[in-house]
Amino acid sequence: MKFTLSTVTKCSGRLGVLGGLDRLPSLSLPTPAIIFHTKGGTIPHLSKEAFQHVYNEQSAVLHLSISNTLHMQDAVKASRMTIAEFIAQNNCATMVFPRDPSEIPIPGTSEKDLLPVYTRKGRRSISLEQYMQLMEAFRPDVYAPLYDGDTDGKSSKKREQKSLDRTEKFVEQCLEWHRKSDALHASHLIGPVVGGYNEKLREKSVEFLRKSDDLFAGYLIDGLHTNGPSVAGLDGTVVLPIVENVCKALPEGKVRLCFGSYDPSLVLDMVTAGVDIFDTSYVYL
């Protein structure tokens, strides 16, 4: 995956083009942009036929989460299809992430070396091995390593530190698996920046990820919220300083993503701060 940056201005953010996917070499997504939030690979309240009328570009980019696709693993693996082929969206690029921006977390205690996932059958925990086996079955165009971004403005310093520690461990193991995997040779990685609202931890997170910068096609700014409708009410004066500092620390030549049902005015402020890609979960909620 290649991100070409064409213009950077202080008052209006960055202009660029995302493309260069192995499976869809003709895909060209001008940024700032949105990618389509899905449930099980389907855009909520919009049939495939209706989508083709609404969005008449040659290719689109879909945001998938494991919470509503985990149950597909055996069927996708048996079919030997990619996840894009399996959901009948072969002309769309697929990006897979651990969390669905529209889902409210189910309370519970996190288990060591496991990440809670909120499926249609309730809360369950997934290991790194299970996650990477899922990625090998799906073979998405882009995916993020397993990571712990379950922090918000109310998280304690201890929880923010735990988020960083767990993420570093998960990412190291995912990178090692990715390097050795034949099934994932055409899939591109997105590095997750975590640390809650602690600027020092955010700096450490970026520093850790940049050690493997050559393996990441872009970066995801996460850990600002725990998803769901409440994200629309976030205070921009609190969120923006964190986003701005993270963007300044990230390499200019890599795409930057930030997901959640943010208020549109905050999205515009984030564009000015340097974020390139968002999702459409705000419309769903």
pLDDT tens digits along 211-246: 999 999 999 999 999 999 999 999 999 999 999 999
pLDDT tens digits along 185-199: 999 999 999 999 999
Residue 53 pLDDT: 85
Q: What is the mean pLDDT of residues 29-50?
A: 94
pLDDT tens digits along 112-166: 899 999 988 889 999 999 999 999 999 999 999 999 999 999 999 999 999 999 9
Residue 32 pLDDT: 96
- pLDDT band at 59; cut points 50, 70, 90: confident
Q: What is the 3-state secondary structure (H, E, C) of the chain?
A: CEEEEEEEECCCEEEEEEECCCCCCCCEEEECEEEEECECCECCCCCHHHHHHHCCCCCCEEEEEHHHCHHHHHHHHHHCCCHHHHCCCCCCEEEEECCCCCCCCCCCCCCCCEEEEEECCEEEEEEHHHHHHHHHHHCCCEECCCCCCCCCCCCCHHHHHHHHHHHHHHHHHHHHHHHHCCCCCCCEEEEEECCCCCHHHHHHHHHHHHCCHHHEEEEEECCCCCCCHHHHHCCHHHHHHHHHHHHHHCCCCCEEECCCCCCHHHHHHHHHHCCCEEECHHHHC
pLDDT tens digits along 197-208: 999 999 999 999
Residue 121 pLDDT: 85
- The answer to whether residue 109 scores a pLDDT higher than 80 is no
Mean pLDDT of the chain: 95
Q: What is the mean pLDDT of residues 171-191?
A: 98
CATH number of the domain within which 126 lies: 3.20.20.105
Number of domains, the chain: 1
67: domain range?
2-284
